[in-house]
Structure 1
Amino acid sequence: MKIAIHNGTGLNEKSIKYCEANGLNYITVDAYSADIIEYLKNENVTHFLWHFNHNLPEDILMARNVLYSLGSCDIKVYPDFNTGWYFDDKVAEKYILEAIDAPVVKSWPFYHKDTAMKWLRDEAEYPIVAKLRRGAGSYNVVLLKNFRQAKKYCNKMFSSGLSPAPKILADVSTKLKVSRKRGDVLNRLKRLPNFVKYMTHARKQFPKEKGYVYFQEFIAGADCDYRIVVVGDRAWGSMRKVRENDFRASGAGMSYEDPTLIPEFLVKVAFDIQKRLKAQSMSFDFVLDKEGNPHIVEISYCFGFDGGDGSFYWNRELELVHEDFTLEELILEQFLKDHNNN
């Protein structure tokens, strides 16, 4: 076994440290290089990991091309096709979740302005949620309260469009709140120059989203959502309160990693959907309606937690186990385990 890891940040960086700590045979590579396929083949690599990032334009542009092409060389990859093809595309998520009969929130994409306007005028029940295909952390998610607001949004999306990258100082008050909760305000300030450089690059390089609109049903009365993550035979979760005078929970910094706050049936649903997706890892953001029915609003193979590492998990028998773990290590361990058993 020989592992290749893209020399980047996040899971890539943590996977390198894991390999070093456990004496695994690995190399780091520049996955952007023109000869990456030939290089990995010549190096007799058996496993390739690239945690590609939704905020890096170059990753979104070409990461999947490399990852899925490697399947033709019998090199095992993370994320694989079933796990990553719909990543950071909320419209694609809608289609795949409907295809496997998952409880996805009602959604309406439109690709022609006249069709969208007719639906907004004659059929839409306000308020409705408008989202871009791309983006995370509640950026570019707005609540349209009436036809006038919806018409304005629709006109924008079928003309100049909207950038999927957040503004440099977007949601700064929430970021500070999260930092205070974690006790790492100083560390965040130290990272600020790099963050500004990172976001400036994204806003310059990402093309504007336009030529479509994507609406979701607004689930009234929900004061929180639930994030359930599945990796292998383990599931982990958190309850996230919505922002004050808002309807969004993602990125709000009010996440509670307490298993008593998480409905157990959501864990079962998450396990079932992950199996039907054949995904190596997956996070599910659930909202419950007034009758207690679950609705998936977003999914993602990669994810973050306000609370850091986990201290509990459920197995597939829904037994709750209190045990500290590092999520990134579980992903890599499961990736190697799955393919070594094949």
Structure 2
Amino acid sequence: MKLGIFNEFMGLEKNYIDACKELDIEYEVIDIISCNWIENIKSSDCDGYLVRPSYKKDAWKRMYDERMYYIKYISDKPVYPVYNDIFLHESKKNMAYWLQVHDLPHPKTWVFYNKEEALDFIENKACFPLVFKPNIGSYSMGVKYISRKHQAKRLINNVFTKYGFYNSGYAKWQKTKFGLSVPLMDDRQFNYITFQEMIDVKHEWRMIKIGKSYFGHQKMKKGKFHSGSGKVGWVAPPEQLLQMTQHICSQGNFSSMNIDIFEDFHGDYYVNELQPFFGAYNDSQMYIDGKPGRYLSKNGNWVFEEGYFCRNACCNLRVLDFIEQLEGPLAEEANL
């Protein structure tokens, strides 16, 4: 068994490399970014390919979407996660469409490609406050709360082309290691805009499903946002959320999926994010009464199993799940 690991602009494939080393699985890093990416895949002798798509810039996201689409014409070897999951990754638009198509509870979302339609919505139909979200951006980067019409109109006018040729676009801002905020001038958004209804959030839950393993914890708030706060509430997720996660992953046939879910003050749940990959810096993504572990669904019951299952940003679990798909069950007591 030999796995191919596609490289990534920021070196995030390292988690897969470390996982394969720990699990003693042969691997090869394949340059998917190169102009010669097709030949690189054709010349490999791997049994399947592990993907960790880039997330920071729209151009990087588009490159992965394009090249993952054409892999089926180059090789008959499977890719993990599959293309449909990668297509959802770090795209607010794609995620919103998927949730609408599958009739799942989520904050109402409006994606406009027509400037006049967007302005009419703001002037005559919108209920404030709203949330503006750039299509690409983790850790709440670029997200804005909109409380007045003029704020929304200014964003619309920035994003859409003027005079038939001029467009300044919308640039997200990022803090440098020196604490200074700088605009990401090479990653502007043009000619579409996304608004979302604001949910009065009591809690935000991060629910995770990788293979047969389920995890959950609270994302604590810092300032205006839960996302990117770095604060975690190690609280046992309600059974309803485990069932909701299982249902969503069943509908999408997801092998690896993080689902961020808002809980409002009425106890209703709304899907806020769907991401095959997420920031995971702890070797466990769930602690119950101080004990690390995971949930398994057995005979309709949720069974807690103690242990550290999230090594290398959960990539050990992903590698094991992929191998199980390729050749059948691998011993659960393997070095997770």
TM-score, length-scaled by structure 1? 0.82
CA distance in 2, matches of 1:232, 1:4: 19
SS at match of 2:35: coil
TM-superposed CA distance for 1:307, in Å, is: 4.3
1:139-169 CA deviation, whole Å, 9 max, x = no partner? 11111112222222222222422124x4233
Q: Is the 8 A contact 2:155 2:170 kept in 1?
A: no
2:169 alignment counterpart: 161
Letter in 2 for 1:212: Y
Tell whether 2:244 aligns with 1:269. Answer: yes
- Residue 151 of structure 2 is aligned to residue 152 of structure 1: no
What SS class does the counterpart of residue 320 from structure 1 fall into? strand
Q: Does the 8 Å contact 2:108/2:197 carry over to 1?
A: yes
Residue 258 of structure 1 and its aligned partner are, at CA, apart by 2.8
Displacement after TM superposition at 1:112 (Å):
1.4
The amino acid of 2:77's aligned partner reads: I
Which residue of the partner structure matches residue 288 of structure 1? 263
SS at 2:184 equivalent = helix
| SS of residue in 2 equivalent to 1:325 | coil
Judge conservation of contact 1:67–1:79 (CA < 8 Å) in 2: no
Distance 2:72 2:327 in 1: 16
Structure 1: which 5+ residue stretches go unaligned? 170-191
Distance 1:306 1:5 in 2: 21
State the distance in 2 between where 1:237 and 1:268 align: 12
Q: Is the deviation greater in 331-340 or in 37-46?
A: 37-46
Relative distance call for 1:308 and 1:144 in structure 2 (3 A) is: farther
Partner deviation per Cα, 1:218-265 (whole Å, 9 max, x = no partner): 112x24311111111111112012223x2x200112212332xx2221
Cα distance change, pair 21–242 in 1 and its aligned pair in 2 (3 A): closer
Residue 60 (structure 1) shift:
1.9
CA contact (8 A) 2:48 2:79 kept: yes
Alignment of 1:39-54 (within 5 A): 39-54=40-55
Partner of 1:119: 121
Q: Percentage identity across aligned positions?
A: 24
Amino acid paired to 1:18: A
User: More helix per residue: 1 or 2?
Assistant: 1
Question: 8 Å contact 2:7–2:29 — kept in the other structure?
Answer: yes
Aligned partner of 1:322 in structure 2 is 306
What amino acid does structure 2 have at the position aligned with 1:264? E
CA distance in structure 2 between the partners assigned to 1:57 and 1:290 by the alignment: 35
Match among 232, 235, 250 for residue 214 of structure 2: 235
Is this contact kept in 2: 1:10–1:51, CA < 8 A? no
Task: Return the alpha-carbon distance in structure 1 between the equivalents of residues 37 and 108 of structure 2.
Answer: 41
Task: Give distance in 2, aligned partners of 1:10 and 1:256.
Answer: 29
SS state of the match for residue 191, structure 2? coil
Tell me the secondary structure at the aligned position of residue 273 of structure 2. Answer: strand
Give SS of 1:270's match. helix
CA change 1:335–1:17 in 2 (3 A) is same
SS state at 2:25 partner: coil
1:167 aligned counterpart, secondary structure: strand
Q: Does 1:336 align with 2:323?
A: yes
Contact 1:253 1:306 in 2 (8 A): no
Matched residue SS, 1:315? strand
The one of 185, 189, 207 equivalent to 1:209 is: 189
CA distance in 1, matches of 2:83, 2:98: 13
Residues 242 and 254 of structure 1 are in contact (CA less than 8 Å); yes or no, is this contact kept in structure 2?
yes
Task: Kindly indicate whether residue 243 of structure 2 is the aligned counterpart of residue 251 of structure 1.
Answer: no
* Alignment-derived partner of residue 34 in structure 1: 35
Closer/same/farther in 2, CA of residues 314 and 116 from structure 1, 3 Å limit: same
CA distance in 2, matches of 1:141, 1:34: 34
Find out whether 1:312 has 2:287 as its counterpart. no
Asked whether the 8 Å contact 2:284–2:293 carries over to 1, the reply is no
- Is contact 1:157-1:209 (8 Å) kept? yes
Partner of 2:288: none
Tell me the residue number matched to 1:177: none
* Worse-superposed segment, 293-302 or 70-79: 70-79
Unaligned runs of 5+ in 2: 161-166, 286-291, 330-336
Give TM-score, length-normalised by structure 2: 0.83
* CA distance in structure 2 between the partners assigned to 1:134 and 1:96 by the alignment: 16
Contact 2:202 2:263 in 1 (8 A): no
* Equivalent residues of 1:4, 1:27 under 8 A apart: yes
Number of corresponding residues: 309
**For the residues of structure 2 that align with 1:252 and 1:272, how far apart are their CA atoms?**
28
Counterpart code for 1:330: L
Greater CA drift, 313-322 or 226-235? 313-322
In the TM superposition, residue 301 of structure 1 has moved relative to its aligned partner by 0.9
**CA distance in structure 1 between the aligned counterparts of 2:133 and 2:58, rounded to whole angstroms:** 19
Number of the residue aligned with 1:130: 132
> Counterparts of 2:328 and 2:66 in 1: how far apart (Å)?
26
CA 1:58–1:114: 2 relative to 1, 3 Å: closer
Instruction: Please tell me the residue identity of whatever aligns with 2:125.
Output: E
> 1:157·1:212 contact (CA, 8 Å) conserved in 2?
yes
Name the SS of the counterpart of 1:318 in structure 2. Answer: strand
